[in-house]
Chain A
């Protein structure tokens, strides 16, 4: 029982490159979430999915897209990375928010 897994753990991108952050949960939760965490800014919700087949914008959705591939998987895509997207990204699952270990992304 792995809980919430995220890949990759670390990533460096150049401005304008694209990438997809992967998240999977094995707890049979309906809801899944993507957050970013920046120093002094706390946790900010990017997108969430209340159930399979639905996604909704959170507090800071600009520059991101998401896909709820199935009940287990919820991916976050950066189409054209910008330095302002340098952050630590966390996926969470379930209303009580079980968090993954995070992806540390640097955009140069």
Chain B
């Protein structure tokens, strides 16, 4: 069955430190991959996506993600976090012939001063 796993439920990071959020997928073929961010009280916003090509993908708000086929992973990174990056982050995956995505359970990021 297709699934997306985010192993970390909650991460706390200091402002200015680097951040890495893990995402693993289980799919029959190379899926399309996405990261979303949800600020408190808001809907989800697309940060970045991977369909094919360069395995390092740049997104909005200074985020990037790297697709590693050998590890079935699509980890999200940011070199230096800001207090405004405190939010919940969701990884998602879908196939080229799917109409819907599978979402991970989310990782909550807390930023301490």
Contact = CB atoms under 8 A, between A and B. Distances in A.
A, B in one complex? yes
Interface of A: 4, 31, 33, 42-43, 45, 48, 50, 56, 58, 90, 92, 95-102
5 contacts: A42-B90, A43-B44, A43-B90, A45-B100, A102-B43
Contacts of A98: 46
A99 B90 CA distance: 13
Contacts of A92: 44
B97 to A, nearest CB: 11
Interface string B52-68: 00000000000000000
A86 B14 CA distance: 35
A92 B34 CA distance: 14
B94 A95 contact: yes
Interface of B: 34, 36, 42-46, 49, 90, 92, 94, 99-101, 103-106
Contacts of B46: 96-98
Contacts of B104: 42
A45 B49 CA distance: 20
A36 B94 CA distance: 19
Find the residue from B44, B92, B104, B106 having the highest chain A CB count within 10 A: B44
A43 B99 contact: no
B25 to A, nearest CB: 15
